[in-house]
């Protein structure tokens, strides 16, 4: 049996070499036609034997991917590649994308988030985006908000074309529609925090949820009320739905609320379960005024330590596998400090969301800047993008 696998491995390696040679003989245009994109999803289950061989380290995933990629640029053994099918502006500064995956997405749900990767001039950029829809035919929807100076968001909004292929990470996140919500659900979103909540709202309404639902979206300008046409349509279709906007950068009119979140905005809103998504400051101030059931997701970090209230304390940082030790401080994250000293740890969102920077804490104490919680258990997994050392620290990196 072992001899057989050894022979298969050798054969496969030779096939890779042959295909690699052949690849140079054909143009990309010809290769694109070898397998239609629509087949990739249907063929994905047939790759299971190869996945098993890779899992046992009898084949290298990179070699398998090379062959699959030769057959179609979006085909991979495990990695999620997605074809851009449609683009639609849903606000002045937000673009909705419809993508079709290659069959490697595993149990994705609206309201979760995925990491999106784009390579530009040799630099791999990435950012986390929420899933607004996950269709049974493999299509998904994301929405990208423009960030001033944001390399990735500006590229996606201004240059990404229908027909291009992007890479996505696997979906993660636990935000979900409340199970016990007969007395109603309240959704509070600020800016692009609307996107996961809209995904859950669409799914709940389509699934027959008929208790009262109120969506309150905070924006700076009226032109940033994303998906307003769709929301008007949902309002007309579902009498249990109420949608309101709060405007902070223009004078509020009609039934709009004025300014950023304040406790009085909660008055008169029905719903005993609250779903909340927005920047850290927004989420923190709503939390202060809500005593009921709550799920929250935030997409920005609090300041690690207020510059006014803290001064840098020198400490020793040690990165075991990199055999690096240097003098650091208690003001910035382990990821930032490692990068400043030449390390290139794997990372994605830099916001504590995607888990791609997770490392093992071997000794010392770190503070998670999202919650303020301290971690000091040796062997504990920490996300180094949101972990600030509180003393000498040893990390398995
Ligand atoms: S980089 Fe995403 S959790 Fe740290």
Helix, coil or strand: residue 233: helix
d(CA 376, CA 368): 11
What backbone phi and psi angles, to 5 degrees, belong to 145? Answer: -100, 140
Kindly state which CATH superfamily the domain 80-168 is placed in.
Translation factors (2.40.30.10)
DSSP string, 235-291: HHH-TTEEEEEEESSS---TT-EESS--GGGGTT---SEEEEEE-HHHHHHHHHT--
d(CA 164, CA 162): 6
Is residue 225 within 8 Å of 253, Cβ to Cβ?
no
pLDDT value for 370: 81
Question: Long-range pairs for 59-64 at CB < 8 Å and ≥24 separation?
Answer: 59/9, 59/12, 63/12, 63/13, 63/16, 64/12
Give 358 Cα–ligand 1 centroid separation in angstroms: 7
Q: Which of 332, 343, 347 to mutate to test the pocket of ligand 1 (most atoms within 8 A of CB)?
A: 347
List the chain domain ranges. 2-71, 80-168, 185-298, 315-396
pLDDT value for 8: 53
Fold of 185-298: Rossmann fold (3.40.50)
d(CA 266, CA 292): 12
* Burial of residue 84 (number of CB atoms within 10 Å: 0-12, 13-18, 19+): middle
Question: Which atom number of ligand 1 is nearest to the Cα of residue 383?
Answer: 4
Is residue 165 within 8 Å of 81, Cβ to Cβ?
yes
Give the count of beta carbons closer than 10 Å to the beta carbon of residue 72. 21
Determine if ligand 1 sits within 6 Å of the CB of residue 383. yes
Cα→Cα distances 357→103, 360, 370, 381, Å: 25, 10, 15, 10
Determine if ligand 1 sits within 6 Å of the CB of residue 355. yes
**N residues, the chain:** 397
Those residues whose C-beta lies under 8 Å from the C-beta of residue 238, and which sit 6 or more positions away, are 205, 213
171-210 in b/e form (b: 16+ CB < 10 A) is bebebebbeebeebbbbbbbbbbbbbbbbbbbbbbeeebe
Is residue 185 within 8 Å of 275, Cβ to Cβ?
yes
Q: Side-chain half-sphere of 154: how many Cα atoms within 13 Å? A: 6
Give 308 Cα–ligand 1 centroid separation in angstroms: 26
Helix, coil or strand: residue 16: helix
For 315-396, CATH number?
A: 3.10.20.30
Is residue 76 within 8 Å of 61, Cβ to Cβ?
no
Is residue 77 within 8 Å of 113, Cβ to Cβ?
no
Give 250 Cα–ligand 1 centroid separation in angstroms: 35
pLDDT value for 28: 45
Those residues whose C-beta lies under 8 Å from the C-beta of residue 230, and which sit 6 or more positions away, are 90
Give 125 Cα–ligand 1 centroid separation in angstroms: 13
Residue 139's closest CA among 206, 65, 84, 62?
Answer: 84
Q: What token pair was written down for 60?
A: 């290298």
Determine if ligand 1 sits within 6 Å of the CB of residue 341. no
Low-confidence residues of the chain: pLDDT under 70 = 1-33, 122, 300-310
Host H or E run for residue 120: strand 113-120
Give the count of beta carbons closer than 10 Å to the beta carbon of residue 246. 20
């Amino acid at each position: 049996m072992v001899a057989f696998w050894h022979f298969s491995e050798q054969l496969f390696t030779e096939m890779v070499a042959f295909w690699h040679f052949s690849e140079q003989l054909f143009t990309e245009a010809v290769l694109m036609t070898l397998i239609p994109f629509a087949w990739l999803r249907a063929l994905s289950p047939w790759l299971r034997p190869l996945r098993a061989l890779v899992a046992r380290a009898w084949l290298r995933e990179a070699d398998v991917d090379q062959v699959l990629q030769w057959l179609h640029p979006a085909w991979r053994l495990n990695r999620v590649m997605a074809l851009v099918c449609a683009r639609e502006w849903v606000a002045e500064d937000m673009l909705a994308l419809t993508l079709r995956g290659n069959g490697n997405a595993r149990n994705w749900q609206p309201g979760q988030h995925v990491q999106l990767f784009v390579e530009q001039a040799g630099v791999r950029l990435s950012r986390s985006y929420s899933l607004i829809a996950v269709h049974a035919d493999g299509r998904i929807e994301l929405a990208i908000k423009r960030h001033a100076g944001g390399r990735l968001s500006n590229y996606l909004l201004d240059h990404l074309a229908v027909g291009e292929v992007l890479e996505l990470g696997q979906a993660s996140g636990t935000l979900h529609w409340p199970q016990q919500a007969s007395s109603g659900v309240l959704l509070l979103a600020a800016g692009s925090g609307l996107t996961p909540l809209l995904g859950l709202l669409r799914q709940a309404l389509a699934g027959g949820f008929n208790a009262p639902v109120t969506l309150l979206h905070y924006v700076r300008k009226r032109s940033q009320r994303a998906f307003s046409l769709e929301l008007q349509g949902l309002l007309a279709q579902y009498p249990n739905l109420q949608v309101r906007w709060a405007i902070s950068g223009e004078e509020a009119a009609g039934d709009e609320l004025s300014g950023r979140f304040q406790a009085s905005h909660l008055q008169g809103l029905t719903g005993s379960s609250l779903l909340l998504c927005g920047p850290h400051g927004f989420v923190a101030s709503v939390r202060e005024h809500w005593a009921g059931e709550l799920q929250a997701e935030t997409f920005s970090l609090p300041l690690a330590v207020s510059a006014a209230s803290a001064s840098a304390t020198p400490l020793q940082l040690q990165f075991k596998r990199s055999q690096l030790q240097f003098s650091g401080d208690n003001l910035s994250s382990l990821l930032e400090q490692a990068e400043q000293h030449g390390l290139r740890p794997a990372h994605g969102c830099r916001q504590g969301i995607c888990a791609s920077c997770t490392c093992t804490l071997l000794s010392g104490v770190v503070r998670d800047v999202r919650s303020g919680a301290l971690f000091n258990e040796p062997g504990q997994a920490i996300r180094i993008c949101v972990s600030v050392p509180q003393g000498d620290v040893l990390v398995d990196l």
